[in-house]
Chain A
Amino acid sequence: MHTVLTLLRPPANECQFRPAADGVRPSNRVRFALMADHSLLTEELRAHIGRAADARHATVTIEQVHRSMGVYGGDISRPFADGDIVPGYVLMGLVSDGEGLRVPVPLPKSLLVSNEFTVERPIRLGEKLVAQPRVADITERLGGQFGHGIYVRTDMEFHDPDGVLVGRTSSTLMHYDPAGARREEAQP
């Protein structure tokens, strides 16, 4: 008699298995279970969640507005005065993204899988902001086209001098081993 194993959602640092109850042939399930027989999302790695780098002070300058408009397709001849609303994408280049937040993931390759930008209100020329980068989350996926993947989401929050949240940028990197990937797509 075969022992049939079914992979369940992994908890923080290990996979769980239970006997299959539906009589499905065991071969594929056992093979998958053996491929993903341990989690890489250790407590040591999870300890990085919430870790923050030093806050940085930045001012929305006309040079940064013009530079970002030139790169992202805005009209750089448009005049701005202090206090005018500027395109929100200026936040993207205000400080380096995720600097000082390297997470030691034990997988050799990484891909950018997603970005998100949110502003709570319009951004104005000349305003001073405080940027705070931090590791927002680390999750794991077993299986899928890239095999075993560790996802690291890094956030950068921007506050005004009174501490009020103005905006947030977020990016998620997937770390993976190409040996376990079925095909390579997505984004460097």
Chain B
Amino acid sequence: MSTTPVQEGEEITPLEMTPDIQHVRAYFGDGAPQTFFFNDDAAKAQGLPGRPVPGPLKVGILYGAVENWLGNRGYVRTVRAAHRRPDVQGNPIVVTGTVARVFEEDGKQRADLELYIINKDGQPSVRGSATVEFWD
């Protein structure tokens, strides 16, 4: 059995970023819906403080942070995310994560991670988890 290259409690490299309207346009690509993601008034009419960052985009950012941390040591098997509150375009977020459990399953070395997206007020806007598998 090979040695797992991570330890429980290890933190993934925090990722700081500020999703903006260009980022949201890139996410939707061609045919972006003209909704409150692109219109301040429409967002405020929904009771939001500004144009929100789409939830699936935030999950992809979470996924990307795990991919970047893992590098060529293995691959990401699962990412789960629970959306707790909206993030507004133009506001900074930080993706953080910790290795919660290292284990062997089906003859493979795997690790569970706890993940968060933290908003500018220090509150988690997304709580997530991931399972990664290391190459033999």
Whether B55 lies near A187 (C-beta < 8 A) is: yes
Whether B90 sits at the interface, judged by CB under 8 Å, is no
List, in ascending order, chain A residues with CB within 8 A of B85's CB. 185-187
Query: B: which residues have CB within 8 A of A?
Result: 15, 17, 23, 26-27, 29, 36-37, 46-48, 52, 54-61, 63-65, 67-68, 75-86, 125-126
Number of A interface residues in the complex (CB < 8 A):
34
List, in ascending order, chain A residues with CB within 8 A of B57's CB. 71
List, in ascending order, chain A residues with CB within 8 A of B125's CB. 187
Q: 19 A–B contact pairs at CB < 8 A?
A: A74-B68, A89-B60, A89-B64, A89-B67, A92-B56, A97-B56, A113-B83, A115-B56, A115-B80, A116-B78, A116-B81, A117-B80, A122-B75, A171-B56, A187-B52, A187-B58, A187-B84, A187-B85, A187-B86
Query: A: which residues have CB within 8 A of B?
Result: 67-75, 85, 87-89, 92-93, 97, 111-120, 122, 171, 178, 184-188
List, in ascending order, chain B residues with CB within 8 A of A115's CB. 55-56, 59, 79-81, 83
Besides A72-B60, A187-B85, 4 other A-B contacts (C-beta < 8 A): A72-B63, A72-B64, A112-B83, A114-B81
Whether B61 lies near A73 (C-beta < 8 A) is: yes
List, in ascending order, chain B residues with CB within 8 A of A85's CB. 75
